[in-house]
Structure 1
Amino acid sequence: MIFIIAIIFIAFLTFIPFLHVYMTIQFQHAQDDDQLMIDVRLLRFIRYRLTIPLIEISKSEVGIVTEERTNTGKDEKTTFTVNDARDRLAKVRQLLNKIVHLHTIMKKFLQHVSVLQFQWHTQIGVGDAAKTAVFVGVGWSVKYYVVAMISKYMNVCITPSISIVPFFQGAVSRTSFTCMIRFRIGYAILAGLKVVKHWKKDM
């Protein structure tokens, strides 16, 4: 019995690099209420979901407030300030500087990432027709640039669905974003091994 279990376990480890990981990112924005959801799925029984129900601008200090309901039913609020963002960006920059050829490693990994779904729809209005038209133009430029970068580095299997609808009757800000990607675990492991290999040790 133990021998059979060992064989099954070894076979499972052998097939792990060939399994696909599906990652879905969803972001919903409507005026002051936002919701972010990240869903990672492997096979049908291994799944991890991270949900941030509410994101709002802090009124007391410059930053973003996230609110999440815990298992006890209580709402916990966390404020992410500009200083927090600077500190984390500085730490990330320090880590990235320690990896040689990081751009090449990420570029090769992204070549094996398939985009299965990409939807990005926005409605915007600032209460002034001329200013609204300017914001719409800038929004289209940003969206086309993002789609171009994704098409350049990833394998886009579908036609991206994007839109910006101007609203001239008042101030409106709504966005719905959904992106699903797929990649094999083996390519992610290989990219991780390359990062470790090219990690610059402190002298």
Structure 2
Amino acid sequence: MLWLWVLLALVLLIIFIVLASSLQIRFSAARQGENDKAVVDVKGLFGLFKYRLHIPFVKFKNFSEGVEMKLETVNRSQGSLLAEGEPNITGENIKNAFEDLKDLLRHTFQFNRWLTGMLSHVRCTDFQWTTKVGVGDAPSTAVTTGMVWGLKSSFLGFAFRYIRLETQPRLNVVPNFNQTEFTSVAKGLLYLRNWHLMVGLVSLLLRVIKVKGGMKVWQQVIQKAIHARPLHKT
């Protein structure tokens, strides 16, 4: 019987370690001239699994064709490309996504309260955002620089109203008085404990079940998103 108690203790210890560990999300986004790219790295279980969502480029084509981009999902633990695709984000896509979102919100009990509660457990331990701007002449560049500072401050004030900021954000706006330029690079690091993630998912499920027809609507929207997903496995 002793080995059963030892096995049980070992299992409980593993569960405790898993729940006590954190999900790490590192992101970066950059716009340099006409080039846009973004990377999101997700790491969990002390680095046992690592996934990367890579958007090498984003290109605005026109108002009818929308935005063209390339997506890649990579399993960094195994060094393999899981899926890739080149979706277009059009006005029709955005309209349909907005309608689906409204449908989900209607079929989730107090979704806003759940979301703010989840975000309150997210910790930001690093954030830096540098922008270089120039519009061709010194007076206009100075005015534009001030506007960019204001937009950044407003955005951060809104974002970190819900997320716990545990670092001093490093913001910078560099004016280029000699030429036209717009370059912006943002990087950050977020943490969320697995325990809070698990409890949050269970809470979301209960909130969906509490609304009549909630599970059916969520299943329909998720299935639609999967079938419309432009990524294909390699």
**TM-score interval, normalised by the smaller of the two chains:** 0.7 to 0.9
Name the structure 2 match of 1:143. Answer: 152
Name the structure 2 match of 1:27. Answer: 29
Distance in 2 between the 1:61 and 1:134 partners?
33
Q: Secondary structure at the match of 1:159?
A: coil
Name the structure 2 match of 1:49. Answer: 52
Percent of residue pairs identical = 19
Distance in 2 between the 1:68 and 1:144 partners?
30
Give the deviation of 1:183 after TM superposition. 1.3
- Contact 2:64–2:91 under 8 Å retained in 1: no
Give ranges in structure 1 of 5+ residues lacking alignment. Answer: none
Name the structure 2 match of 1:198. Answer: 207
Distance in 2 between the 1:25 and 1:69 partners?
15
The answer as to 2:85 corresponding to 1:82 is no
The answer as to 2:75 corresponding to 1:64 is no
Distance in 1 between the 2:162 and 2:123 partners?
10
Q: Secondary structure at the match of 2:118?
A: helix
Q: Between Structure 1 and Structure 2, how many residues are aligned?
A: 201
Name the structure 1 match of 2:76. Answer: none
Distance in 2 between the 1:69 and 1:183 partners?
24
Give ranges in structure 2 of 5+ residues lacking alignment. Answer: 74-79, 215-234
Listed as ranges, the matches of 1:45-194 within 5 Å are 45-59=48-62, 61-67=64-70, 77-194=86-203
Give the deviation of 1:4 after TM superposition. 8.0
Give the deviation of 1:9 after TM superposition. 5.1
Q: Secondary structure at the match of 2:70?
A: strand
Distance in 2 between the 1:10 and 1:103 partners?
34
- Contact 1:58–1:79 under 8 Å retained in 2: no
Report the more deviating stretch, 27-36 or 162-171.
162-171
Give the deviation of 1:29 after TM superposition. 1.0
Q: TM-score, normalised by structure 2?
A: 0.74
RMSD over aligned Cα atoms: 2.9
Q: TM-score, normalised by structure 1?
A: 0.84
- Contact 1:147–1:160 under 8 Å retained in 2: no
Distance in 2 between the 1:51 and 1:69 partners?
5
